[in-house]
Amino acid sequence: MEHKDKMDGIWEHGSIGDKAPAWAKYRKVMTSEFPSPFRGSTDPLADAIKKAIVKIDNLKPKEDGPAYLGDSTALTYTYPEVKNIAIPKGTGDLDKVIDDAIDLFQGMPNVASPLTMANVWPQPNTASIIASLLPQIFMPNIIEGEFSWNVHKAELESAGMLANLFGWSPTKAGCVYTYGGSGCWLYGLKYALTRVLPNSRNSGVRTDGKVICSTQSHFCKENATDWSGLGMDNILEIPTDPITNQMDLGALEVTLQDLRVKGIPVISVICTMGTTDASVFDPITEIKELLDKYPNPAPYGNALLYADAVAGWSWMVFKDYDFEANPLEFSANILLVLKRNLAAIKGIHHADAIGTDFHKFGFSPYASSCFVYKNAAEFESIMRRGSYAYLQDVTPYNPMYYTLEVSRSASGSLAGWATMKYLGTTGLQAILGGILESRYYMDSIVHKHPDMVMADPDNTGFITLFRVYPEGIDAKAQFNKELSDPAARADLIKYNEFTEAIGEKLWNWYLSGKKINKKFTPHMAYSTGFRTTNYNRNGADEEAIVYALKTYPMNVFVTPEIMKHTLDCVVAARDEVIKEML
Ligand SMILES: *Cc1c(COP(=O)(O)O)cnc(C)c1O
C-alpha cells in the first residue's frame, strides 16, 4: 500500500513524468539507450549498428593496403598500467562508447586481408556474421527450449547436416555447440570417462585410465586432461610414422596390448583428423579395428573413439564431388590433392564423436565449435543430470541436462548453421579447392628457387612450410643433410637461427607497413620446430628440430600474384638479414 503511493507521481500516462524523483528521470535516459520493446518506434539500434559497421569497415585499408586495420600497428597501452582504471561514474554517450570500441580495432591484424596468412584464422563469411549477431538482440539461451524456442532448431539441424556429412544416421546423432575445439575435446573426454568409468560422475576419477593420441595431436589434450581431473600424466603419446606423420599403428598395438595385460582401461583414443600444421589424418579405420581387437576388461565400459577434426572436417564436403566430371574445373594436381584429403578423412564415420570448428575451416566467427556425437540416446542418457526445480521441459529439446555450460549462446549455432545453409557443400568445395590452387602455385615457385626447399612437401592442407638459404646453397641437398646427418647438426642450428631472423624481419616489416616492389608485405609466420630430425625422432635433443617459414593462406581473396609477392618478400628479407650479418 505504502509502496503504491510512492509510485504515484512518477508515471504520467504510462511514462515518467516531470515530477518524478531523480532515479526515475535518470532511468528514462537509460531506457532510451535500450532497444524499444515495440516495432516502428524510434529505436537507435538498427541505425546505430549500421553506423558502427560503416565506421569499423573504414578501418580496412584502401585496395592493396597493408595487412592490418587502421593506420598504425602500435599498441595503444602500457602494461600493467592499462589495468589502472575504474568504472566511469557518469553515463556514457552511445556514439562515444561505440567509437571507443571501434578504436580498439586499430592496428589489429586484418583477417579480411589476403596478405594475412599467419595461422588457421579465416575471414568469416557474411551469412555467418549476420546470423551470429541476431542472438545478441533477443538473447535466445540454448539451455533449454523455453528460452530459445525455435532458435534451437539451428543446433538440431546442424546435428543432422553434420551427421549426414559424416555418414551417420542424422536423427540418431546429436550435437552441442561449445567454446572451441578445446571445448569439443573436453566434451569428448567427459563422454569417454563417463562411458568407461560410470562411477566417476559421482565418486570422481579414481582410476588412471589412459587417453591415447599421437605425438602430433593438438596441445589442448593438456587442457582437457588437466581440467577434467584425469591428469596430464594419463596421456599416452604414440609416435608418428616419419614418412606419413600418422599415428604409428604398430606402436599403438603394442600400447593397447600392454594396457590390456596390465588391466588398465583405455578411456579414449583420439584420432587427429587434420593436424593444425602438417594437416595429417590419423588412420582411423585401422585404429578402430585395433580398438575392437583390444576391448577394455570388465568392469570398464568401451573406450571412446574421438575424432579431433576441428582443422580438417570440411574436407568431407568432397564426398559427393564428381571427380570424373570435375564440375568446379579444378586443375589436375589440385584434383589429386582433394582426392587424397577425402580419402584420408573418409573413415571418420567410425568415430563415436567428432569435434568440428566452424571458426577454422568453416569460415565463421568465434566461437562456433560443434561437438557432434553419433549416438544421441547414449550420450544424452549417460551424461544426464537430474531435474531442476526452476526449469521445465516445454519443448522436446533441453540440453541443460547434459551440457557443460548452463546458459549457452545461440551465436555459435547460428554461425555454423548459416554457413552450411549459405555456402552449401559446393560453396565450401569451391573455397577449399580455390585456396589450394593459390597454395600449390606458391609451392611451384618455391621449387623454382634453388635456394629454397619445401620443409613438409607432402602436406596437402593450406600451409606451406619452407626453408630459405643464402644464395648459392643447394637448398634441397643442404636440408636433406640437416635432416638425416647428425654431423650436420651445427648447420641445422645455424640455419634455424637464420630462418628465425628472416621470420622476425618479415614480422617487423609487416608491423611497420614496409613495402617491397611497391607492395605491402604479408603477415606470415615461422615455426620453431614443427618436426624433429630423423635421428632425433623422440625429440630428446631439444635443438635437433626444424624451423621453417610458414604461410597459411585462408583468405578467399588470396591469389597466385599474392603468393608470388610473398616469396619476393621472403627473398628480400633473406638478403637484408645476410647484409646485417656481414
Ligand atoms: C585449433 C585446434 C584445436 C583447438 O581448437 P580451438 O577452437 O582453438 O579451441 C584442437 N585441435 C586441433 C587439431 C586444432 O587444430
Summarised one tens digit per residue, pLDDT across range 463-501 is 999 999 999 999 999 999 999 999 999 999 999 999 999
Cα–ligand 1 centroid distance for 498 (angstroms): 29
- Helical ranges in 368-515 per DSSP H: 376-382, 411-448, 475-484, 489-512
Residue 170 CB coordination number (10 Å): 16
Query: Are 331 and 471 in a shared domain?
Result: no
Q: Is the pLDDT of residue 93 over 90?
A: no
Closest atom of ligand 1 relative to the 183 alpha carbon = 9
Of 243 and 226, the structure prediction assigns the larger pLDDT to 226
Query: Are 264 and 337 in a shared domain?
Result: yes
Query: Are 466 and 567 in a shared domain?
Result: yes
Residues 6 or more apart from 515 whose CB is under 8 A from it? Answer: 521
The pLDDT of residue 11 is 74
Q: Is 437 exposed, middle or buried (0-12, 13-18, 19+ CB in 10 A)?
A: middle
Q: 220: Cβ below 6 Å to ligand 1?
A: yes
Handedness of CA 293, 297, 302, 308 (dihedral sign): negative
8 Å CB contact between 407 and 201: no
Query: Are 358 and 496 in a shared domain?
Result: no
Residue of minimum CA distance from atom 2 in ligand 1? 181
Query: Are 348 and 464 in a shared domain?
Result: no
Last residue of a domain, one of 368, 385, 402: 385
Residue 479, in any domain of the structure: yes
Q: Is the pLDDT of residue 140 over 90?
A: yes
Confidence of residue 4 (pLDDT cuts 50, 70, 90): low
Grid cell at residue 533:
630430425
Give the closest residue to 255 by CA, choosing from 300, 290, 215. 290
Residue of minimum CA distance from atom 12 in ligand 1? 218
Residue 335, in any domain of the structure: yes
Q: Is the pLDDT of residue 5 over 70?
A: no
Residue 285, in any domain of the structure: yes
Residue of minimum CA distance from atom 11 in ligand 1? 218
State the chain's mean pLDDT as an integer: 94
Local structure of residue 491 (DSSP, 8 states): H
> For the ranges 29-38, 195-204, 294-303, 379-388, which has the lowest average pLDDT?
29-38
Q: 483: Cβ below 6 Å to ligand 1?
A: no
> Is the bond leading into 522 cis (omega within 30 degrees of zero)?
no
Residues 6 or more apart from 501 whose CB is under 8 A from it? Answer: 577
Q: What is the value of pTM for the model shown?
A: 0.95
Which run of H or of E encompasses 189? helix 181-196
Nearest-10 Cα torsion for 319, 219, 481, 474: 60
Per-residue pLDDT reduced to its tens digit, 68-79: 999 999 999 999
Rounded Cα–Cα distance for residues 499 and 577 (Å)? 10
Mean pLDDT throughout 54-67?
A: 97
Closest atom of ligand 1 relative to the 369 alpha carbon = 7
Last residue of a domain, one of 360, 385, 410: 385
Q: In degrees rounded to 5, what are phi and psi of residue 209?
A: -70, 165
Grid cell at residue 245:
606423420
Number of domains the chain contains? 2
Query: Are 464 and 368 in a shared domain?
Result: no
Residue 108, in any domain of the structure: no
Query: Are 190 and 308 in a shared domain?
Result: yes
Cα–ligand 1 centroid distance for 313 (angstroms): 12
Give, for ligand 1, the residue of 220, 279, 308, 313 to mutate: max count of ligand atoms closer than 8 Å to Cβ: 220
Residue 490 CB coordination number (10 Å): 10
Closest atom of ligand 1 relative to the 359 alpha carbon = 7
Percentage of residues in the chain having pLDDT higher than 90 = 85
Mean pLDDT throughout 118-129?
A: 96
Residue 62, in any domain of the structure: no
Give, for ligand 1, the residue of 182, 284, 315, 459 to mutate: max count of ligand atoms closer than 8 Å to Cβ: 182
Percentage of residues in the chain having pLDDT higher than 70 = 98
Cα–ligand 1 centroid distance for 308 (angstroms): 8
Give, for ligand 1, the residue of 276, 281, 371, 527 to mutate: max count of ligand atoms closer than 8 Å to Cβ: 276
Confidence of residue 440 (pLDDT cuts 50, 70, 90): very high
Last residue of a domain, one of 385, 411, 437: 385
Rounded Cα–Cα distance for residues 212 and 238 (Å)? 7
Q: Is the pLDDT of residue 14 over 80?
A: no
The pLDDT of residue 7 is 66
CATH code, domain with 362: 3.40.640.10
Q: Is the pLDDT of residue 373 over 80?
A: yes
Mean pLDDT throughout 139-150?
A: 96
Which residues on adjacent β-strands are paired with residue 356? 370
Confidence of residue 8 (pLDDT cuts 50, 70, 90): low
Closest atom of ligand 1 relative to the 357 alpha carbon = 7
Q: 151: Cβ below 6 Å to ligand 1?
A: no
Residue 256, in any domain of the structure: yes
Domain range enclosing 521: 448-581
Q: At what angle do helices 411-448 and 560-581 cross, to 10 degrees?
A: 60
Which residues on adjacent β-strands are paired with residue 404? none
Cα–ligand 1 centroid distance for 188 (angstroms): 13
Confidence of residue 274 (pLDDT cuts 50, 70, 90): very high
Confidence of residue 576 (pLDDT cuts 50, 70, 90): very high
Residue 504, in any domain of the structure: yes
Cα–ligand 1 centroid distance for 255 (angstroms): 25
Cα–ligand 1 centroid distance for 476 (angstroms): 32
The pLDDT of residue 2 is 55
Confidence of residue 1 (pLDDT cuts 50, 70, 90): very low
Give, for ligand 1, the residue of 177, 273, 308 to mutate: max count of ligand atoms closer than 8 Å to Cβ: 308
Per-residue pLDDT reduced to its tens digit, 231-250: 999 999 999 987 888 999 99
Cα–ligand 1 centroid distance for 181 (angstroms): 4
Give, for ligand 1, the residue of 178, 214, 360 to mutate: max count of ligand atoms closer than 8 Å to Cβ: 360
Cα–ligand 1 centroid distance for 310 (angstroms): 6
Q: 310: Cβ below 6 Å to ligand 1?
A: yes
Q: Is the pLDDT of residue 94 over 70?
A: yes
Q: 463: Cβ below 6 Å to ligand 1?
A: no
Cα–ligand 1 centroid distance for 504 (angstroms): 25
Residue of minimum CA distance from atom 3 in ligand 1? 181
Query: Are 366 and 463 in a shared domain?
Result: no
